[in-house]
Structure 1
Amino acid sequence: MHRFNKPQPSVRSFQERLSVAMVFVLICFAILLARFVWLQVVTHHRHSVAAENNRIALIPIAANRGLITDRNGIVIARNYSAYTLEITPSLIEMDVNTLLDQLSEVVDIQAKDRRNFLKLFKESKTFDSFAIRTLLTDAEVAKFTAQRYRFQGVDIQARLFRQYPYGELGSHLIGYIGRVSQRDREKLIAELDSSKSNEEDWEQRKNINLLGMPYIGKVGIEQSYEQALRGSPGFEQVEITAGGRAVRTLSTSSSTPGKNLVLSVDIKLQSLVEDLYGKRRGAFVAIEPQTGDILAFVSKPNFNPNDFIEGIDATTWKNLNESLEKPLYNRPLKGIYSPGSTYKPFMALAALETGKRAPNQSIVDPGYFNLGNHTFRDDKVGGHGTVDMAKSIVESCNTYYYQLSKDMGVNLMHDFMKPLGFGQITGIDLIGESRGVLPSTDWKERTFKKPEQQKWFEGETISLGIGQGYNNFTILQLAHATANLANQGVVMKPHLVKSIEDPVSREKIITVSKESYKIDLKKENIDVVTNAMVDVNRFGTSAAAFKGAGYNAAGKTGTAQVYSLNSKTYNHGATPEMLRDHALYVVFAPAENPKIAIAMVVENAGFGAAHAAPIARKALDYYLEGRWPKEVPEWKNAP
């Protein structure tokens, strides 16, 4: 009889395998379900936004840059419309270098244009449009339009450009804009990140802001008021294909124009002074004492800011940088000079305020001052005779101030001069201001490393009284101090921008509305110094320059050594030009109610009375009486 095996083991094995398979299938379905939930629920919004971003491109619309006008409404930085030749990388159908070669046959494309474009092209997003040529002529527009069919992704656009209609005039105060560099971009990113929004599309909006700001202020007012001037870019929301081609415009968000700046500067006065300097080097600052408004801010020689907007050519850049005249150097802001005898009125005021001298207290000047084995000589052989305070200013007696500085000491001089603004940052609304040097014993200890150099010697004090020695100040500081004297010790912060104007509402915000502080000075002491400075222009060192003036001006001439004579006699004609003395002058007028205070230097010109005071006289004649000198061409408005 045949016997059969029981089937239970086979069935059991099959059931086990089936259970394992079911568990595996359930796990797979669980994973798929989890992934589905993750994609459709947890991360749905993120992927939805990403998909939308792949479908939609935001094209930035640059904001109109704010205008810059002088105090009388004359526009000195403006915008104008011009054609640009632009390439959208995502739309071109050939190699970019081949495209540029073919475009060069139609439109003039310089090597610098090509370099700038290729740099932007490498850093670009897929839908960005970049200019390969700007400021196209009508002939170039017509020529390209006729052959546009050959160049997919290349088109002509109308854009706004910056222009400085008066060229070199006021270039150091206005500054200029230029294309955003990598360093500028990093600063902009840091600035934008510091004001980061919690909005989910913040990164996209940040990119719009970066792309919508192709230019940035590089120096001058354009730099220091960049945030106010540039406004906020807008954007166009454009539907695009997977290949990056535009299909239609979905929406537009308008840009916000930048704010306008109203300068305190009288551009006609600025122009007059620059013309009066001619080819001479120097610095000139005029301030309205009661407000701190800077009326003129001259640095000579200057440069043409229009050369920098689209990138300066190599030859011009080399000439500017290698010139011995240093046309890019902002002399009023950065240049430091010994004040020479223009320091004496402030020394006289210090003597009165500290009780070191009385107005009628006199010395007998033999023409020199001895300290130990060293002799400090006066400029007048045989001396000035009996000298009181007024005469010391009118005739510019060095010996009087040699003795005064010895009696005061360096630290007392430092403490008095500091509140007036000497050796201090004025806070003017320009970047890069020099501090200068107002010496003291503490200053010397901090400045020098070797112990033997840190010690202050009494002989170093003597020359400080006549504005020499370690004394080194900017012309801006000298003008600021002169304005503070004219304003009876009330200190106003010097500034170039008078107000910031909203271009839509025309609402203006005043930049400096109140005094910074007040120096406690006695009016009778200020009057003593002021009356002596008026006499300087009546029958003193600058009397010839102010002959026939219809107002009282309180002034003081100065001549500052450029290098040490080592007891030798100075011969102006025999001295190389760059080593000749500087000519300085300070003045405020009318003396009874000052409307303007001036400090100036004409480099390597010699005597202040001969080369600086005449320029100041003509500037005052125009500003106070409206008289334009015959030797200077009449002012013409920009075209």
Structure 2
Amino acid sequence: MSTTTRSRLRLVVVQALVFSLFATLFVRLYYLQVIGGESYQAQAADQSVRDIVVQPQRGLIVDDQGRPLVANRTSWVISVDRTLLGKLEERQRTELVRRVSVVVDAEPEDVEARLVTCGDLGSVRDVCWNGSPYQPVPVATDVPKSVALRVLEQPEDYPGVLAEQQSVRSYPRPFGVNLAHVLGYLSPVTEDEFDLAAERDDRSLNGASVVGRAGVEKQYDEWLRGLPGYRRVAVDSMGRVLGDDSVVESTPGDTLVTSIDAKVQSVVERQLAERIKVQRATVDPVTGRRYEADSGAAVVLDARTGRVVAMASQPTYDPDVWTGGISESELARLYSEEAGTPLLSRATQGQFAPGSTWKPFMTAGALTNGYTTDTALACSSGFQVGNRVFKNYESGAYGSIGFAKALEVSCNTFFYRIGYDFWQRFGSDPADLGAKDPLVQEAKDFGFGSRTGIDLPGEAPGRIADRRWKQAYYESQKDYYCGIADKPQTDGTSDFVYRFSREFCLEGNLYRAGDAVNFSIGQGDTIVTPLQLARAYGALANGGTLWAPTVAKALVSPDGTVLRRLAPRKVAEVDVPQKYLDYIDGALQNVSRVGTMAWKLGGFPLDDVTVRAKTGSAEVYGKQSTGWVASYTEDYVVVMMISQGGTGSGSTGDGIRAIWEALYGIEGETVRPARAAIPGTVSPARLPQFLDDGSIMPPAVGE
């Protein structure tokens, strides 16, 4: 083949290759621009448009008169746009994070931790970002306005850093109320909660949401949180916002109307705190040192419905510490035993021996199981069971008396005899788990040993220390105590612990006569919450109805529409004849007039406001006595207790009186209904008025 022919052949091959390349390019361009054009056009648009979540304003929480207990305020929030941050050089990125950390007063590593998406390598649980990857990430909330203005006025120093105002919780504190344990608090949504919400297609939660963690904030979180909105914005290639594309408005949360009355609540909180303060300065005649008065609680219920009018617990905390994030030191204090574990609500979660406040229910159990109102038993200074003498308070003796007098003077030995009698008749075999026990059954009928059903999370059940409980406790602890008993006593084990371990190992499951007599006066291993005791006294006040205590009355939409009314819920009727309830009622009136509470009610107009009361002083091994007063009228139940505070009337009597004076407008010996804390003296049946302009007014007059 000649040279010319070979050259022409090569040219043809090259031309063919060039043509095929152009043909391939043409086909590809045709596919991209014609066949797949719409898809790619949409993707390109998505890269220039972002959805930013607009957080809703959380619903209000108001009292029975419409006073705001929890509201909202605006807070400056510093956020970082990670898209723009990712386009910076490493050195520039590090410098920007450093600047942000300085301006928000945080460590650079803390800022970095907040910028990591949850689930990614290096993410820290409850700190990482679990929201949209296209949304600026909040790195500091509730910052001073001066900090926000510094970021806004120097955008060249803080590229991709935003300072915006958001809504956060505020606490108006009408009449100075705290109410922390009832209201609860908020904290950021967790990764698990966010994932679960995504699975359920729950649009009310997003990565920047806060969630109720306690109190009514948790119980009614789904109603209070509202629905987030979305702002679609156009951005340039550097991620800078060019303008809004579209907006879907957020929906504010619903308002929660409660049965709490802020004016009564303020009196209850103030009296509880004052009584604890006084007792801490008072010397305990038994131990010779000042009372510890380490905690306390007070509850006011509407006797007719079980609604919670006021509820206080000490120690308490400032709910504002959670706003904008809580520090590690503050969180540690809230859980600290040294600080008294302020997060624990003593009213619903604290469990204490009820002492003599238990006796009205033991009276009901005795009267419905063979005893009569004519029964007379010895109120001696002591009562011997086996080789132990169970004594009366200060070894007092009153001769042969009936139930009414026994309640009036709070005679222990009178009730010891009843407990011992039932034990002998029905359960003298200490190993018989199924033995009948009328007093235990009566306590259970009044709701003790189980949760009341209040609409607050975390309620404690209390404990009825009957035969089955003792057997279960023995089985759970016998290996531990038998382990001590089986070994020779060492220097590290006290004589008491060693002897107790040996006895427990041998017969710790047996329900003996001593257990029965202790139970009859609210001592031993039986424990109750202040709310349980208040609810049971409510049944004495209203003729035998046990209500599930409720805090919420209604949920109202932002436009004022009542979405849901939460009616009082009846749990049970106590099977005690009305004649016996009336008999107990009369005896408790005498406790206030001439009995153990009379010295605290001198000059109180009992003929106009008939207060029934029962005092109690529960002995706790290794501690000072827990003081109780439980009281009621036809309208309300008022209970107050102080742990390690001394006798019931001595520690809480003045506080109980002050609360009753506030409830009925009592000044000296005169009742002035117009000055009662609640207009009309009794809790309103109607809801506050929600006006068209958004304001909330008290319930209409005449209800």
Counterpart of 2:494? none
Q: Secondary structure at the match of 2:224?
A: helix
Deviation at 1:394, TM superposition (A): 0.2
1:425-440 mapped onto 2 (5 Å cutoff) = 425-440=451-466
Q: Given that residues 97 and 111 in structure 2 are in contact (C-alpha distance below 8 angstroms), is that contact kept between their aligned partners in structure 1?
A: no
Q: Given that residues 76 and 143 in structure 2 are in contact (C-alpha distance below 8 angstroms), is that contact kept between their aligned partners in structure 1?
A: yes
1:611-626 mapped onto 2 (5 Å cutoff) = 611-625=651-665
Q: Given that residues 197 and 205 in structure 2 are in contact (C-alpha distance below 8 angstroms), is that contact kept between their aligned partners in structure 1?
A: no
Counterpart of 2:323? 309
Counterpart of 1:393? 407
Counterpart of 2:66? 73
CA distance in 1 between partners of 2:240 and 2:412 (Å) = 79
Counterpart of 1:147? 154
Q: Given that residues 115 and 139 in structure 2 are in contact (C-alpha distance below 8 angstroms), is that contact kept between their aligned partners in structure 1?
A: no
Q: Deviations over 1:80-116 (max 9, x none)?
A: 11322322121235444311323456x34233x9626
Deviation at 1:503, TM superposition (A): 1.6
Q: Secondary structure at the match of 2:443?
A: helix
CA distance in 1 between partners of 2:473 and 2:458 (Å) = 21
Counterpart of 2:193? 187
Tell me, yes or no, if structure 1 residue 173 matches structure 2 residue 182: yes
- Give 1:156's match in structure 2, choosing from 163, 176, 179: 163
CA distance in 1 between partners of 2:386 and 2:418 (Å) = 16
1:285-324 mapped onto 2 (5 Å cutoff) = 285-322=299-336, 323-324=338-339
Q: Given that residues 548 and 568 in structure 2 are in contact (C-alpha distance below 8 angstroms), is that contact kept between their aligned partners in structure 1?
A: no
CA gap 1:534/1:317 in 2 versus in 1, 3 angstroms: same
Bigger Cα displacement from structure 2, 50-59 vs 415-424: 50-59
Counterpart of 1:454? 509
- Give 1:404's match in structure 2, choosing from 415, 418, 425: 418
Aligned identity (percent) is 26
Task: Provide the TM-score with structure 2 as the length reference.
Answer: 0.74
Counterpart of 2:15? none
Bigger Cα displacement from structure 2, 341-350 vs 152-161: 152-161
CA gap 1:116/1:597 in 2 versus in 1, 3 angstroms: farther
CA gap 1:628/1:327 in 2 versus in 1, 3 angstroms: farther
CA distance in 1 between partners of 2:367 and 2:245 (Å) = 75
CA distance in 1 between partners of 2:237 and 2:156 (Å) = 23
Q: Secondary structure at the match of 2:347?
A: helix
1:274-285 mapped onto 2 (5 Å cutoff) = 274-278=269-273, 280=276, 281-285=295-299
Task: Provide the TM-score with structure 1 as the length reference.
Answer: 0.81
Q: Secondary structure at the match of 1:481?
A: helix
Structure 1: gaps spanning 5 or more residues: 1-24, 197-204, 565-578
CA distance in 2 between partners of 1:117 and 1:134 (Å) = 16
CA distance in 2 between partners of 1:50 and 1:418 (Å) = 67
- Give 1:236's match in structure 2, choosing from 231, 239, 251: 231
Counterpart of 1:605? 645
Tell me, yes or no, if structure 1 residue 64 matches structure 2 residue 79: no
Q: Which amino acid aligns with 1:563?
A: Y
Bigger Cα displacement from structure 2, 401-410 vs 386-395: 401-410
CA distance in 2 between partners of 1:210 and 1:547 (Å) = 59
Q: Secondary structure at the match of 1:238?
A: strand
1:51-450 mapped onto 2 (5 Å cutoff) = 53-92=46-85, 94=88, 95-103=92-100, 107-111=103-107, 115=110, 118-123=113-118, 124=129, 125-166=132-173, 169-180=178-189, 184-193=190-199, 195-196=200-201, 209-213=205-209, 215-240=210-235, 244-278=239-273, 280=276, 281-322=295-336, 323-355=338-370, 357-381=371-395, 383-409=397-423, 411-449=437-475, 450=478
CA gap 1:555/1:435 in 2 versus in 1, 3 angstroms: same
CA distance in 1 between partners of 2:565 and 2:96 (Å) = 51
Counterpart of 1:7? none
CA distance in 2 between partners of 1:139 and 1:330 (Å) = 38
Q: Secondary structure at the match of 1:134?
A: strand
Tell me, yes or no, if structure 1 residue 549 matches structure 2 residue 604: yes
CA distance in 2 between partners of 1:45 and 1:563 (Å) = 80
CA distance in 2 between partners of 1:305 and 1:117 (Å) = 28
Q: Given that residues 168 and 303 in structure 1 are in contact (C-alpha distance below 8 angstroms), is that contact kept between their aligned partners in structure 2?
A: no
CA gap 1:505/1:428 in 2 versus in 1, 3 angstroms: same
Q: Given that residues 422 and 438 in structure 1 are in contact (C-alpha distance below 8 angstroms), is that contact kept between their aligned partners in structure 2?
A: yes
Q: Which amino acid aligns with 1:342?
A: T
Counterpart of 1:576? none
CA gap 1:51/1:405 in 2 versus in 1, 3 angstroms: farther
Deviation at 1:243, TM superposition (A): 5.7
Q: Which amino acid aligns with 1:602?
A: I
Bigger Cα displacement from structure 2, 318-327 vs 83-92: 318-327
Deviation at 1:65, TM superposition (A): 0.3
Q: Given that residues 126 and 244 in structure 1 are in contact (C-alpha distance below 8 angstroms), is that contact kept between their aligned partners in structure 2?
A: no
Q: Secondary structure at the match of 1:468?
A: coil
CA gap 1:188/1:71 in 2 versus in 1, 3 angstroms: farther
Deviation at 1:236, TM superposition (A): 1.5
Q: Given that residues 168 and 302 in structure 1 are in contact (C-alpha distance below 8 angstroms), is that contact kept between their aligned partners in structure 2?
A: no
- Give 1:587's match in structure 2, choosing from 631, 635, 639: 631
CA distance in 2 between partners of 1:146 and 1:442 (Å) = 71
Q: Which amino acid aligns with 2:636?
A: I
Q: Given that residues 302 and 328 in structure 1 are in contact (C-alpha distance below 8 angstroms), is that contact kept between their aligned partners in structure 2?
A: yes
Q: Secondary structure at the match of 1:492?
A: strand
CA distance in 2 between partners of 1:366 and 1:348 (Å) = 18
CA gap 1:116/1:395 in 2 versus in 1, 3 angstroms: farther
* C-alpha RMSD over aligned residues: 3.0
Deviation at 1:514, TM superposition (A): 4.2
Counterpart of 1:575? none
Deviation at 1:606, TM superposition (A): 0.6
CA gap 1:487/1:140 in 2 versus in 1, 3 angstroms: same
Deviation at 1:557, TM superposition (A): 0.2
Q: Given that residues 114 and 137 in structure 2 are in contact (C-alpha distance below 8 angstroms), is that contact kept between their aligned partners in structure 1?
A: no
CA distance in 2 between partners of 1:269 and 1:217 (Å) = 25
Q: Which amino acid aligns with 2:96?
A: L
CA gap 1:40/1:563 in 2 versus in 1, 3 angstroms: farther
Bigger Cα displacement from structure 2, 49-58 vs 392-401: 49-58
- Give 2:586's match in structure 1, choosing from 527, 531, 551: 531
CA distance in 1 between partners of 2:604 and 2:322 (Å) = 42
CA distance in 2 between partners of 1:68 and 1:117 (Å) = 36
CA gap 1:478/1:49 in 2 versus in 1, 3 angstroms: farther
Q: Deviations over 1:475-525 (max 9, x none)?
A: 111111111221111122101122211122431522234423322321110
How many residue pairs match? The answer is 562
CA gap 1:513/1:335 in 2 versus in 1, 3 angstroms: closer
Q: Which amino acid aligns with 2:187?
A: G
Deviation at 1:385, TM superposition (A): 0.9
CA gap 1:492/1:57 in 2 versus in 1, 3 angstroms: same
Counterpart of 1:468? 523
Q: Which amino acid aligns with 2:154?
A: Q
Q: Which amino acid aligns with 1:175?
A: G
CA distance in 1 between partners of 2:184 and 2:511 (Å) = 41
